[in-house]
Chain A
């Protein structure tokens, strides 16, 4: 049977009931179809949603039982750790961890002694699936053991102030998770610079991001992380980057911002 299209006037009349989820299922479907293509109804529905959000605060207030907080936090940490471990956990991956691990499958970068590392593309990685899996395991291992992290902040022109995080575990390993650097023009790469206390910079390797502006990179710092006061990211000519920074700085982090805490 052909479904009757709603006029805007009829749809508008039913918006309050729709916001309250008080329509029959068939009417809900018809109204949802109309709202999807009607900015005016979307605005009004949003307003009703806000009103109904407020209404929820009108009930008698009672504190949740004291143990609930600990249980919620334990479940949160447990779900993250289970997923990072890459096992068969049933709950879905947290958004950021999905981003990190998906990006790790696209690009994993290893740095030893300042040597510019290898840049892989999707085709290469498919052929080298086992190698990638091993690298992913290392990424997840560092993430799971991370005890320190530092926010990676973008320059003012970036949409978000924080465009990544650098997670560090004991020793020289770290994982840089990027979420918010735009894809580059062909022939350009992002290059990481590790900044020593005396202001000298050594290359930390190069990377690109995926269409979702994400990348996850396994870093191995020459020496230990305590030898560095921070990290910067510039745009350099690809595929190998530059011996020293030449392009614009797009993001970085400071040792002063590093703080305890892992996942």
Chain B
């Protein structure tokens, strides 16, 4: 069986502008990148733009990704989330209302099974992520989702939820620390490909 280049090897090839390496990275990661952008933006055209921007950013300057900062998959999703939230905030400034109601984060059984090379996030890993989220209490999960997927600041959440700012700060702090503890306890990091 042919050697399957690792993400690190493909990144190294990007230094030399190897577009085949970019194609392989796209095949591995585009599904998760696009899905996250689509979930945040709820707009297919905008999600496509974000996906394109994320891969072109990596192409133009692969040195932005540092291996010691973690695996490529989570790093790409952080870049994706930040770009999508930037877009969302820009739209909000243009008068679009900020909703607190959002599609549920539930494991989804797709009838379109991903190709093997797209399964960078194993089903088991995603399942464990959902289990970890379900261990948070409702208030903790709410602030994580509003901040992460809706790009709300603590002050905006306090206003939207009608809560004192101090309460929201406490919830955010405890929620992310708790989520980090659960994922570490469950050894999720070793499953990240």
Q: Which residues on A are within 8 Å of B, measured CB to CB?
A: 13-14, 16-17, 19-24, 46-65, 68-69, 71-73, 75-77, 79-80, 91-97, 149, 151, 160, 162, 165, 177, 179, 261, 263
Question: Which single member of B16, B78, B144, B151 contacts A56 (CB below 8 Å)?
Answer: B78
- Are A95 and B74 in contact, with the CB atoms below 8 A? no
Known: A51-B183, A92-B60. A64 touches B48 (CB 8 A): yes
Which residue of chain A has the shortest Cβ distance to B154 in the bound complex? A22
Say yes or no for B6: interface residue by CB 8 A criterion. Answer: no
- Are B60 and A56 in contact, with the CB atoms below 8 A? no
- Are B148 and A55 in contact, with the CB atoms below 8 A? yes
Q: List 12 A-B contacts (CB under 8 A).
A: A17-B147, A21-B82, A22-B154, A24-B153, A56-B36, A56-B81, A59-B105, A64-B47, A69-B26, A72-B26, A72-B52, A79-B60
For the complex, what is the distance from the CA of A261 to the CA of B149, rounded to whole Å?
Answer: 40
For window 51-65 of chain B, which residues contact chain A by CB distance below 8 Å? Answer: 51-52, 55-56, 59-63
Number of interface residues of B (CB under 8 A): 81
For the complex, what is the distance from the CA of A54 to the CA of B15, rounded to whole Å?
Answer: 26
For the complex, what is the distance from the CA of A214 to the CA of B125, rounded to whole Å?
Answer: 41
- Are B26 and A23 in contact, with the CB atoms below 8 A? no
Say yes or no for B179: interface residue by CB 8 A criterion. Answer: yes
- Are A54 and B183 in contact, with the CB atoms below 8 A? yes
- Are B51 and A61 in contact, with the CB atoms below 8 A? no
Task: Type the 1/0 row for B80-93, where 1 means its CB is closer than 8 Å to any CB of A.
Answer: 11100100000000
Which residue of chain A has the shortest Cβ distance to B62 in the bound complex? A95
For the complex, what is the distance from the CA of A261 to the CA of B121, rounded to whole Å?
Answer: 30
- Are A261 and B23 in contact, with the CB atoms below 8 A? no
The 3 A-B pairs of least Cβ separation, nearest first, read A53-B74, A56-B77, A16-B176
Q: Which residues on B are within 8 Å of A, measured CB to CB?
A: 12, 15-20, 22-23, 26-27, 30-36, 38-39, 44, 47-48, 51-52, 55-56, 59-63, 69-71, 73-78, 80-82, 85, 103, 105-106, 108, 110, 112, 114, 118, 121, 125-126, 129-130, 133, 144, 147-149, 151-155, 157, 169, 172-173, 175-177, 179-180, 183, 188-189, 192
For the complex, what is the distance from the CA of A60 to the CA of B74, rounded to whole Å?
Answer: 16
For the complex, what is the distance from the CA of A59 to the CA of B70, rounded to whole Å?
Answer: 20
Q: Is the interface of A mostly helix, strand, loop or mixed?
A: helix
For the complex, what is the distance from the CA of A149 to the CA of B21, rounded to whole Å?
Answer: 14
- Are A95 and B126 in contact, with the CB atoms below 8 A? no
For the complex, what is the distance from the CA of A23 to the CA of B38, rounded to whole Å?
Answer: 24
- Are B60 and A91 in contact, with the CB atoms below 8 A? yes
- Are B48 and A60 in contact, with the CB atoms below 8 A? no
Known: A17-B172, A17-B173, A48-B180. A95 touches B60 (CB 8 A): yes
- Are A96 and B154 in contact, with the CB atoms below 8 A? no
Residues of chain A with a CB closer than 8 A to B172's CB: 16-17, 20, 22
Residues of chain B with a CB closer than 8 A to A46's CB: 69-70
For the complex, what is the distance from the CA of A62 to the CA of B133, rounded to whole Å?
Answer: 21
- Are B30 and A50 in contact, with the CB atoms below 8 A? no
- Are B121 and A73 in contact, with the CB atoms below 8 A? no
- Are B188 and A58 in contact, with the CB atoms below 8 A? no
Min CB gap B138→A, angstroms: 16
- Are B176 and A63 in contact, with the CB atoms below 8 A? no
- Are B179 and A51 in contact, with the CB atoms below 8 A? yes
Question: Which single member of A48, A73, A79 contacts B23 (CB below 8 Å)?
Answer: A73
